[in-house]
Chains A and B, each alone.
Chain A
Amino acid sequence: MLEAVQLTKRYSSIPAVQNLSFTLRPGQVLGCLGPNGSGKSTTVKMLTGLLEPTRGVVRFNAGNIQDDLQSYRKVLGYVPEEAHLYPYLSGWEYLEMIATLRGMAFKEMQKKIDSLLELFSLHPHRHASIATYSKGMRQRILLIAALMHNPEIFIFDEPLSGLDVTSALIFKNLVQELGRSGKLVFYCSHVLEVVEKICSDVLILRKGTVIAQDSVANIGRILGQSLENTFLHLVDDVDTMTAARNIVEVMGAA
């Protein structure tokens, strides 16, 4: 079980996240929604241990993850928001490096990398430099890197960006499958339809604080509308139609 307890992060006294608490149980797929600057990335960084909270604690199986980060990271699979990879390595070399650093056995590593590259349709390009990969191909490399050591916890930060339709469909089914097999999945996204479809629960952030947290079904039922409308209702007071009209007016202005 992964628990965030009263998580707060301040950057030079400016709060990015305040008193964030939630629990992620095995089999649960928790979606995290929020507009830009709502504290999603900071939350993800605290959950992965890349950032230490100013206050509060992240617990995995009742222990503070900061006490033994290495053990925690052995069971963690993380896909960051942007696919920053070393462009002069080939896809194979990158995955081999990650697997080696994770201490995977040589034969197991080769077998897994080969199979996953095949499944993600990257096998023919495995020896090409990452610089030549499209955004979607890089994203698939990140997904393989997060999956190949069979972790217990998955943290996905916008994992679908750049993926082609088939890969995106495979991935959406994969997330649901991971949930069913008892893994813990934390899923950050801007795409409301995806969160609505694949997540069992949802957490909505605004200006660093949680403004709604429940199962996807409950949130819709309570407010009597779709997740998209609920999100707009809770998070932004912007009239999107008026904003679109204003943009067209400015474009046409002399």
Chain B
Amino acid sequence: MSLLAPSEIRTPWDRYRRRPFWRLVELFSARIFRGGGDADAEGLDLGIGLVLTLLAMPGGFVSLLLLDKYASFLQWLRGMTNVDPLAISFSDEYFFIVLSMTVTGAVAVWRWDAIFPDRRDFINLVPLPISTRTIFFANLVAVLFLVGLIAIDVNAASCILFPTVVAATQTKFLFFVKFALVHALGVVLASIFSFFAVFSLLGVLMAVLPVAALKRVSIFVRGLIVVYLVTLLSTSFAVPYNLWRANRVPKWAYLFPSSWFLSLCQVLRGRPTPILVELSHLVLPGLAFCVAVALATYPIGYQRHFIRIPEMADTGLSHNFRQSRIAPLLQRFSLRTPFLRGCFPFAWKTLMRSEMHRLVVTAAAGLGLVLASQAAMNAFQSATGLRQAALSPDAISIPYILTFFLIIGLRAVFEIPTDLRSNWIFQLLLDRDRQECASLARKVILSAVLPLVLLTTFPIHFYLEGFRTACLHTLVVAIWAGLLTNIVLVRFRKLPFTCTLPLFKQHSIVILLSFCFGYLIYAVSIPEFESSALSEPVRLLSMVPVIAIVALVPRFLARSTPEIERRLIFEESSARNFELLRLSD
């Protein structure tokens, strides 16, 4: 827990942590962050500091992207004079509220299994001379502490940056202060609401369902919550517009608590409408209801699921992975060698079942979704009709943004090891000189990305623009996704998830800059060109030479790689660039 406590407060905290209750609070806080459960996988410990930094990033990132909208010079260039910042920030405020609820809700879903003490806690703590009531209250305090910490952390960056960006054109400092306070209140309350909503749902399920049923049901419930959060995020461009234009409170607004918090912000800023006033009245009862349900069901769940652990069979989390009959057949046809047939399912199962890997891919996809939502919002704001919006560079860029983050996310996640102690079997079985790691990684990435492109991009554009445009757009996106995959896998020679984490390299900064530069080309320039070319498809042919060059570069680099650097590795070793002479010895 020392990670939770900065050094300056460590000494007073040390006095507290010697008391059993606070030591338990510390233990539960750390386990909620680092994972409970019965699995004994040697998961990657990101550390609390890094988790908090990752959670704070989306808010800061989106705030900075809004500079373009609020900068006075750019507004002047667009011919926008006498802009009312409170009016134009209405939709952005909603977006931040949704972002805050989504990130916090996602954290609650992610730590779903760790919120309550589990079998491991029971085995370790109950035999000690501590009452189960103390364990109960310590866990509750830890949960409440973390709700506060996450609510502040997730919104910290946006609470400073967003008001700064909006107030950039204002001369009065008071405007900034007022705007910042109302924004902070709105997003922090939204965060707390989101966490307690998930917590109360978990509490109700624990109070109602038996243990075995809960384990089965909770997977589906978590999936439904994620779908709801994604819906909340992806409709964030439409909700403020419809709310502003409505004559009376729309029924759907009751299902979107984010609209209640937006209404509260508008009322506090002195811009109320009858609809917003009515919706703002839902905030406090809604929040109180979620907190009350969570606190009422928590003791029942504790009694049913923790105290009764010894009465239950020692089975742990019993997932049943039945063999699919189709998957082996597909693999036999599409995967030619034993290496690919053995390792492809391993890679997919790791991605699907390892919590850490799922988290990183979800985070990357989530960041992609945030930016794609922003692009969708821009596309609809600047177009008059749905068809015109669908062919705008912003709308065309959506599949590019999503595939970019998915490909980069998957490439990054391949570097994160899963239970390194278990990779002995690959070290024992695989031929290091005849590895097909790049081919394997390419198949894994494309099998995740291409169905997404086919199942989303094609039907949407088929509906809006017709068969020809849908085919062309889908084909171009698929080709560029394939090329990007090849580029990110240049000199890849690890079996995904089996090698130690890469060390910080001198060229890490270059990689980061390449990532930003790659994003600009892949998700901004190519969609802009494609958007202009889709009206005259012959112009798409001018892409062919560029595609050919981009396709050839990775092949050339692969051929020029020395033999020793093509060998399969299980350990990242830092190459020594210089030797110390030790002249003083």
Contact = CB atoms under 8 A, between A and B. Distances in A.
A132 B38 CA distance: 8
A132 B422 contact: no
Contact of A103 (B318, B338, B422): B338
A178 B424 CA distance: 24
Chain B interface extent, by class: 35 or more
A80 B424 contact: yes
Contacts of A80: 424
B317 A101 contact: no
Contacts of A128: 318-321
Contacts of A102: 338, 429
A196 interface: no
B35 to A, nearest CB: 12
Contact of B338 (A78, A89, A100, A145): A100
Contacts of B422: 84-86
Interface stretch (B250-258, B342-350, B398-406): B342-350
A87 B317 CA distance: 11
A76 B427 CA distance: 13
B494 to A, nearest CB: 16
Nearest to B355: A88
Interface string A63-85: 00000011001001010101011
B338 A84 contact: no
Contacts of B320: 90, 127-128
Given A128-B318, A132-B318, A84 B341 contact: no
Nearest to B357: A88
A226 interface: no
B328 interface: yes
Interface in A95-131: 96-98, 100-103, 106, 127-129, 131
B354 interface: yes
A240 B373 CA distance: 71
B350 A88 contact: yes
B310 interface: no
A117 to B, nearest CB: 13
Contact of A89 (B328, B343, B349, B430): B349
A252 B332 CA distance: 66
Nearest to B497: A86
B315 interface: yes
B181 interface: no
Given A97-B346, A101-B338, A102-B429, A131 B424 contact: no
B425 interface: yes
A93 B338 contact: no
Given A98-B429, A129-B321, A106 B39 contact: no
A186 interface: no
Contact of A87 (B41, B315, B318, B322): B41
Nearest to B322: A127
Contacts of B425: 98, 145
A93 B345 contact: yes
A132 B430 CA distance: 28
A102 to B, nearest CB: 7
Q: How large is the interface on A (under 10, 10 to 19, 20 to 34, 35 or more residues)?
A: 20 to 34
Chief secondary structure at chain A's binding surface:
mixed
B349 A88 contact: yes
A225 B443 CA distance: 62
Contacts of B41: 86-88, 131
A131 B353 CA distance: 11
B317 A70 contact: no
Contacts of B323: 92, 127
A66 to B, nearest CB: 12
A131 B345 contact: no
A84 B428 contact: no
Contacts of A90: 319-321
A101 B343 contact: yes
A48 interface: yes
Contacts of B339: 101
A96 B318 CA distance: 20
Nearest to B352: A88
A223 interface: no
Nearest to B338: A103
A138 B69 CA distance: 59
Interface in B336-373: 338-339, 341-343, 345-346, 349-350, 353-354
A50 interface: yes
Which one of B332, B339, B418, B429 has the highest number of Cβ atoms from chain A below 10 Å of its Cβ? B429
A147 to B, nearest CB: 14
B316 interface: yes
Nearest to A74: B429
Nearest to B420: A84
Given A97-B346, A131-B38, A132-B317, 12 more contacts: A48-B428, A50-B427, A82-B421, A85-B422, A86-B41, A90-B319, A93-B349, A127-B322, A128-B320, A129-B317, A132-B315, A145-B425
29 contacts: A49-B428, A50-B424, A50-B427, A70-B431, A73-B429, A76-B428, A84-B422, A85-B422, A86-B418, A87-B40, A89-B349, A90-B319, A93-B349, A97-B342, A101-B338, A101-B339, A102-B338, A103-B338, A127-B321, A128-B318, A128-B321, A129-B318, A129-B321, A131-B41, A131-B316, A131-B317, A132-B316, A132-B317, A145-B425
Interface of A: 48-50, 69-70, 73, 76, 78, 80, 82, 84-90, 92-93, 96-98, 100-103, 106, 127-129, 131-132, 145
Interface of B: 38-41, 315-323, 328, 332, 338-339, 341-343, 345-346, 349-350, 353-354, 418-419, 421-422, 424-431
A-B pairs, 3 with minimum CB distance = A88-B353, A100-B342, A101-B342
